[in-house]
Amino acid sequence: MSLMTREDMLRELELLPVWQLRAPLSSFLDAEVKVEVLAQSAALPIAENQTIETERILADALEPEILSPATSPATVLEATPVFFTVILNDSADYLFVLPSAPLQVDEQHLLKNIFMAMRIKVQAAETTSNILALMTTHQPKLLITMGESTAQAILQSSESLLNLRGKLHQFQNFPLVATYDLAHLLQVSADKAQAWDDLCLAMHILQKPNKL
């Protein structure tokens, strides 16, 4: 099936010029994407029955542990509970992992724009500290982490988001793409271009899994 260009996709959803694109999705890995981003994000109306609700869960503070090199990511997640907001799309292709914090109204608008641009419908958000159990149950094809602390916690890495984003990672044999969180994108509008590149990478991986 032929791929719709990103510009066609966004124009159809009336998201331009939030992300004004100059390259088709199929050429993402072949050429640098040049994007013009406006300072303000366009807000789409939110239906009352579509509000994304999240719940803050506070975990008891734990004493820091010195982990041995042999400690696996699964062991770390079990030993040090970290809570995340997770959103799965209807076809269980993508599992979005966000910081565990209530979404502000402008963050909800931006997240809805992202889902619409990716042409996916999502299930209700939930909060969990057991990502592995959720993945085992739903078997998503790809994880998308949003925010530096989220990516670091899942990947058990001290690398900055600048070093983690823009590439494919593996977590428990699941492909993972890291990108910016919603609060950052609303504060630093210019980084929306890089975030869209990350999302295009995720979509490209699912459309052509054997090419990477």
CATH code: domain of residue 200: 3.40.470
Number of domains in the chain: 1
- Phi, psi dihedral angles at 87 (to 5 degrees): -135, 125
Task: Tell whether 148 is covered by a domain.
Answer: yes
Task: Tell whether 1 is covered by a domain.
Answer: no
Contacts of 43 (CB under 8 A, 6+ apart): 106, 109
Q: Taking residues 117-129, what's their average pLDDT?
A: 93
> What residue numbers bound the domain in which 46 lies?
6-59+70-211
Task: Tell whether 190 is covered by a domain.
Answer: yes
Q: Taking residues 87-104, what's their average pLDDT?
A: 94
What per-residue confidence (pLDDT) applies to 196? 96
Which comes out higher in pLDDT, residue 167 or 69?
167
pTM passes above 0.75: no
Task: Tell whether 14 is covered by a domain.
Answer: yes
Nearest to 143 by CA among 112, 172, 177, 173: 177
Q: Taking residues 37-60, what's their average pLDDT?
A: 40
DSSP 3-state percent helix, strand, coil across the chain (nearest 5):
40, 15, 45
Task: Tell whether 29 is covered by a domain.
Answer: yes
Task: Tell whether 64 is covered by a domain.
Answer: no
